[in-house]
Structure 1
Amino acid sequence: MRQYIFGTGLLSAITGGITLLRALRNDEPFTWRTALAWLSWGITLALAVGAVVDTRRARRGKVISGDSPVSKKQQKLLKKRLS
């Protein structure tokens, strides 16, 4: 579980969210640029969590979709699990 929590994708998404939260503390108005930054952060977080889920499924031997970046490594992860 530790390898998933400390993955670079999740860490960068969390630090990006912290940066956005700090920007909200200032008395700046909420503009369309701020809305786009939050949308971008949400997409980044969703992709990072999706990569973690795909990696976990691949390590357990379950089939993952072909559009996942982990699908190419699925056979390698399965062999590592079996040994």
Structure 2
Amino acid sequence: MGTLRKYLFNGVIISSLISGIGALRQQRKSPADWRTVLTWASWILSFMVALGTVRIESKKADEPKPKTKDEKERRAREEPATGPKPIKRARTKA
């Protein structure tokens, strides 16, 4: 994928831009007050999160796939864990 294309055609970015259009329409209808400032601050933060998400996803997609089991285990040790670890359940005899 091209460098700019991965940002332009990503659903997260498109959704964030559409919400920015909604914030712009809301600002035109109402007078500027503290709620307008909070609306724009939240939109800027959500847009930054969207950009970061696309960047992380593109880095993961560009990485070569591990070929051997040893390589998978080495990568698992090197990369920080994301999210909660799955719960290991004890096996019972049926």
**TM-score, normalised to structure 1's length?**
0.62
Structural RMSD (CA): 2.6
Equivalents in 2 of 1:67, 1:50: separation in Å?
18
Q: Shift in Å at residue 40 of structure 1?
A: 0.6
Which of the residues 9, 13, 17 maps onto 1:14? Answer: 17
Which of the residues 18, 43, 64 maps onto 2:45? Answer: 43
Question: Over alpha carbons, which structure has the higher Rg?
Answer: 2
Structure 1 unpaired stretches of 5+ = 70-83
Equivalents in 1 of 2:57, 2:42: separation in Å?
23
Contact 1:54 1:68 in 2 (8 A): no
Structure 2 unpaired stretches of 5+ = 65-78, 84-94
Q: Shift in Å at residue 60 of structure 1?
A: 1.5
Structure with the larger RCO, 1 or 2 (CA within 8 Å, 6+ apart): 2
Q: Shift in Å at residue 21 of structure 1?
A: 1.4
